[in-house]
Structure 1
Amino acid sequence: MFIFSWLNDQLLRMEWLHYLVTLLVRDVFGLDVNKQVGGSIHFFIYDVSKIFILLSVLIFTISYIQSFFSPERTRKALGNFAGIKANTMGALFGTVTPFCSCSSIPLFIGFTNAGLPIGITFSFLISSPLVDLASVILIASIFNWKIAIAYVLVGIFLAVIGGSIINNLKLEKYVEPFVYENKLIDADPEELTARDRIVFAREQVRDIVRKVWLFILIGVGIGAAIHNWIPESIISALLGQDKWYSVLLATLVGVPMYADIFGTLPIAEALVAKGVGLGTALSLMMAVTALSVPSLILLNQVVKVKLLAIFVGLVTLGIIIIGYTFNAFGHLLM
């Protein structure tokens, strides 16, 4: 138990990095980390460094593993299940395949064209950007493993329920006809050497970091401002746990935002530190991640407005319910 705790503190929370940044800010910059300016600079450097280190290592590892599982192989595996089991497998595949919400849309087209029920593809579409392994590790590094595991469970639950409802509503007619007309090449995945997989993983790190670096900097900057400059009284007045509308407000604010989970995590961290309910912070994070504007624009090209509205409505309602549940019982996880 001691070894696990030490590894968690040093590898995930990176207490060694926190100490080094403290020395940098205090001894090199000559600032007090307990004051607003010094505290903000410390928060920014520490969180940015930690997120980029963890993100690079995790994306490299996950991408190397992912190189063994092509989208076509995933489609074939999902085709072996039906009913609630199929939706569960779709959600689980979304969890272990780290596609962002935008890159999941082509897979949605491929899965639907291949004959999979749209409920399965929507379960995949919800879980893929919401509960990838990298985000889970980062949540554990910022909060703790209990919260990270609970986040995974509720994310998968939302994906399974959302996909199951869409499947039972028989909404196939609201998918654009061209989706069913595309033909897939049924070929075995290309055999890759170990060197090929390393190159692929390295390119994935580069590509993903290029896509998210700005959002990470913006998110950490906002988090530093919330943590050190905005009085707790103001945050509590808007999003305090005693405000019944806090989850609703956080979800509605998050839906139209264009950001990445890696950029919203520091904001959630700062909000919780200011006394905002865990469920409220997670609602904001989930809304931003699962319902980003670019992914909805792309999805609108392949499904009709009614199906898109049902999808958005179901996910939004699920996030709100999850938020209130975490606010009610989140203290058990802290």
Structure 2
Amino acid sequence: MEILETILIFIQNQILGMKWLNEFLGNILSGLGIDLNTRLGGSIQFFIYDVIKITILLCVLIFIISYIQSYFPPERSKKILGKFHGIWANIISALLGTVTPFCSCSSIPLFIGFSSAGLPLGVTFSFLISSPMVDIGSLLLLMSIFGAKIAFAYVIIGLVIAVIGGTLIEKLHMEKYVEDFIQNASHVDIDSPTLTRKDRIQYAKDQVMETFKKVFPYIIIGVGIGALIHNWIPESWVEGILGSKNPFGVILATLIGVPMYADIFGTIPVAEALLAKGAQLGTILAFMMAATTLSLPSMIMLKKAIKPKLLTLFVAICVIGIIIVGYLFNVFHAFLI
């Protein structure tokens, strides 16, 4: 058991967390005469380390996930979902969301396609919630910062929110609030072409380049904010606003995260800095969930597909679920760390 724990710690710290890289960069910066104990020096080290670490993880994870995703094109996903009914359809839909697009904006076209294909509305919403909030990449990235227990708990609870949210929308019979052009869309099932291993590798490479170009600016912004929090904002400020002394910290973090446009790669450095400054775990995760699931650009896109009443219900379900999860993580913080 001790050997297994040692291996897991090594994976978390040295492979996913790349602590060796931080030490290596520290030695180089010190050799260049930069005092790492100053705010400026610490910010430089934090910025370079996190940009390199997240970029490497981003490229490796997207390649692996995209290779897996090549086995689940939209046509095949629709056929898989069509074989299940009731809550099992919501569960499978949420699980399929873990191997599909990396942000809420890129999930919406698939959501529209699933809806046009005649899949139950609740099933498509389980996918829409799960896809940006939970994926294999988020599991490994969260492990690099918070450890395996918190990462798995985050993913499981994210899937639970997706299943409950989709089920609730299904039970409320909100189909009439989907725009007519989606309900009346004609659909022809086309069998997915058989891809060779070379084709899948090329697809994964293309996805890496496409996603990297789209996501990298947000990594820079996120790491910059993280460096600012980590080295320039007093710990007492963060503890006062997002710590245990503020009972409304989770609600505040959720409301701050909702209008942002970010994915898991952009929120990780901010979460890392907030945790180091004393913010509560559940409050941090609530911010991450809100920023990745509910962003202003994605809401604008979604408004084209569904009517205001359904859009409001979707946002309300997500916000309430995220807030509940945030408080639960804060309560059980001691058992997870």
Measured against the shorter chain, the TM-score band is: over 0.9
Return the alpha-carbon distance in structure 2 between the equivalents of residues 92 and 37 of structure 1: 43
Return the alpha-carbon distance in structure 1 between the equivalents of residues 222 and 299 of structure 2: 22
- 2:263 corresponding residue in structure 1: 260
> Structure 2 regions of 5+ residues with no counterpart?
none
The residue identity in structure 2 corresponding to 1:165 is: L
Q: Is the 8 A contact 2:100 2:107 kept in 1?
A: no
Q: After the TM superposition, which of the residue ranges 303-312 and 265-274 deviates more from structure 2?
A: 265-274
- 1:15 corresponding residue in structure 2: 19
- 1:57 corresponding residue in structure 2: 60
- 1:36 corresponding residue in structure 2: 39
2:179 counterpart of 1:206: no
User: Which of residues 28, 34, 37 in structure 2 aligns to 1:24?
Assistant: 28
TM-score between the two structures when normalised by the length of structure 2 = 0.96
Three-state SS of the structure 1 residue aligned to 2:279 is: coil
Return the alpha-carbon distance in structure 2 between the equivalents of residues 99 and 261 of structure 1: 8
TM-score between the two structures when normalised by the length of structure 1 = 0.97
* Superposition RMSD in Å: 1.2
The residue identity in structure 2 corresponding to 1:11 is: I
Q: How much does 1:265 deviate? A: 1.1
User: Which of residues 179, 182, 188 in structure 2 aligns to 1:179?
Assistant: 182
Deviation by residue 1:234-258 (Cα, 9 ceiling, x = unmatched): 1122222121110111111111112
- 1:317 corresponding residue in structure 2: 320
Return the alpha-carbon distance in structure 2 between the equivalents of residues 107 and 63 of structure 1: 15
The residue identity in structure 2 corresponding to 1:180 is: Q
Return the alpha-carbon distance in structure 1 between the equivalents of residues 199 and 88 of structure 2: 34
- 2:220 corresponding residue in structure 1: 217
Return the alpha-carbon distance in structure 2 between the equivalents of residues 331 and 34 of structure 1: 30
Q: How much does 1:223 deviate? A: 0.6
Return the alpha-carbon distance in structure 1 between the equivalents of residues 270 and 11 of structure 2: 25
Q: How much does 1:99 deviate? A: 4.2
**Structure 1: which 4+ aligned runs deviate by more than 6 Å?**
none
Return the alpha-carbon distance in structure 2 between the equivalents of residues 206 and 243 of structure 1: 42
Return the alpha-carbon distance in structure 2 between the equivalents of residues 148 and 3 of structure 1: 17
Q: How much does 1:200 deviate? A: 1.0
Deviation by residue 1:136-161 (Cα, 9 ceiling, x = unmatched): 11111111111100100110011011
Three-state SS of the structure 2 residue aligned to 1:215 is: helix
Q: Is the 8 A contact 1:98 1:133 kept in 2?
A: no
Deviation by residue 1:151-209 (Cα, 9 ceiling, x = unmatched): 00110011011001000000000001110222223121112222222211111001111
Return the alpha-carbon distance in structure 2 between the equivalents of residues 279 and 272 of structure 1: 10
- 1:244 corresponding residue in structure 2: 247
Q: After the TM superposition, which of the residue ranges 225-234 and 8-17 deviates more from structure 2?
A: 8-17
- 2:148 corresponding residue in structure 1: 145
The residue identity in structure 2 corresponding to 1:21 is: L
Three-state SS of the structure 2 residue aligned to 1:103 is: helix
User: Which of residues 313, 329, 333 in structure 1 aligns to 2:332?
Assistant: 329
Return the alpha-carbon distance in structure 2 between the equivalents of residues 4 and 321 of structure 1: 29
Identity %: 57
* Distance change in 2, residues 1:99/1:72 (3 Å): farther
Q: For residues 274-313 of structure 1, what are the structure 2 equivalents within 5 Å?
A: 274-313=277-316
The residue identity in structure 1 corresponding to 2:301 is: L
Q: Is the 8 A contact 2:253 2:283 kept in 1?
A: yes
Q: Is the 8 A contact 2:102 2:263 kept in 1?
A: no
The count of corresponding residues between Structure 1 and Structure 2 is 333
- 2:48 corresponding residue in structure 1: 45
- 1:170 corresponding residue in structure 2: 173
The residue identity in structure 1 corresponding to 2:84 is: F
Q: How much does 1:4 deviate? A: 3.6
Return the alpha-carbon distance in structure 2 between the equivalents of residues 14 and 305 of structure 1: 45
2:193 counterpart of 1:190: yes
The residue identity in structure 1 corresponding to 2:19 is: E
Return the alpha-carbon distance in structure 2 between the equivalents of residues 230 and 197 of structure 1: 45
